[in-house]
């Protein structure tokens, strides 16, 4: 088994943090995304979408998409549970994971990809107006999250989950996307300080 990894990019980092929380070690194959290594034939053959991470199992089976890779490891190593426990707990994690991914991380990613000069060769065409339009969308979602975090420690309830990983990655990605985190979002800031202090955040 080996994991083709993209360094500081959000999705590869999500998987590394997940594995660190689980205490799972997987051999990494570094791919230099700044040099467009994810478009090399070696990656394209495994994932025609030319995206990372890519997990290759010992029998040659390929898994892509960060959450799908994390689900695979959750099934193999259910403790600690990072996709929730019980019918309701799993549904709540799924709900918040989808919200964090579609409404927040996606908006931050669009802002970065369509505004940052380093993404000019990646995002063709680069549409600055679309990037700017996504900035307030990301912040507005954080206002909703801030209200929900007033009475709980983590995004999806009382336990750390993949939804927290996605959210933390999104907050970290706001800086290169040039989206300020409003000072009044005190619950978001308290939550972010707690999750980013976990040892896994350095993975």
**What domains are defined for the chain?**
2-76 (3.40.30.10), 86-202 (1.20.1050.10)
Residue-wise pLDDT for 147-195, tens only, equals 999 999 999 999 999 999 999 999 999 999 999 999 999 999 999 999 9
pLDDT of residue 163: 98
Q: Which residues pair with 154 in a beta bridge?
A: 157
Rounded to 5 degrees, what angle do the CA atoms 90, 149, 184 make?
150
- Asked if pLDDT for residue 120 goes beyond 90, the answer is no
Provide the percentage of residues in the chain whose pLDDT is more than 90.
94
User: What is the reported pTM?
Assistant: 0.96
Q: Could you tell me which residue, 117 or 94, shows the higher pLDDT?
A: 94
- Asked if pLDDT for residue 121 goes beyond 90, the answer is no
Contact (Cβ atoms closer than 8 angstroms) between residue 150 and residue 188: no
- Asked if pLDDT for residue 119 goes beyond 90, the answer is no
- Asked if pLDDT for residue 118 goes beyond 90, the answer is no
Comparing CA positions, the residue from 114, 117, 112, 109 lying closest to residue 177 is 112
Residue-wise pLDDT for 44-67, tens only, equals 999 999 999 999 999 999 999 999
CA distances from 187 to 105, 129, 155, 168 (A): 18, 30, 11, 13
């Amino acid at each position: 088994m080996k994991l083709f990894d993209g360094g500081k990019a959000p999705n590869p980092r999500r998987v590394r943090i997940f594995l660190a929380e689980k205490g799972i070690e997987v051999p990494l194959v570094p791919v230099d995304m700044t040099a467009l290594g994810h478009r090399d034939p070696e990656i394209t053959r495994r994932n025609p979408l030319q995206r990372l991470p890519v997990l290759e199992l010992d029998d040659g089976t390929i898994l892509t998409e960060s959450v799908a890779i994390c689900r695979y490891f959750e099934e193999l190593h259910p403790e600690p549970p990072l996709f929730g426990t019980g019918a309701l707990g799993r549904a709540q994690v799924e709900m918040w994971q989808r919200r964090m991914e579609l409404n927040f991380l996606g908006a931050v990613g669009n802002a970065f990809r369509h505004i940052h000069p380093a993404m000019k060769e990646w995002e063709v065409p680069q549409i600055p107006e679309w990037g700017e339009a996504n900035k307030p969308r990301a912040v507005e979602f954080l206002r909703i999250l801030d209200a929900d975090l007033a009475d709980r420690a983590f995004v999806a309830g009382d336990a750390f989950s993949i939804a927290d990983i996605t959210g933390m990655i999104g907050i970290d990605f706001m800086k290169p996307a040039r989206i300020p985190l409003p000072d009044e979002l005190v619950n978001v800031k308290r939550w972010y300080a707690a999750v980013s202090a976990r040892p896994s955040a350095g993975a």
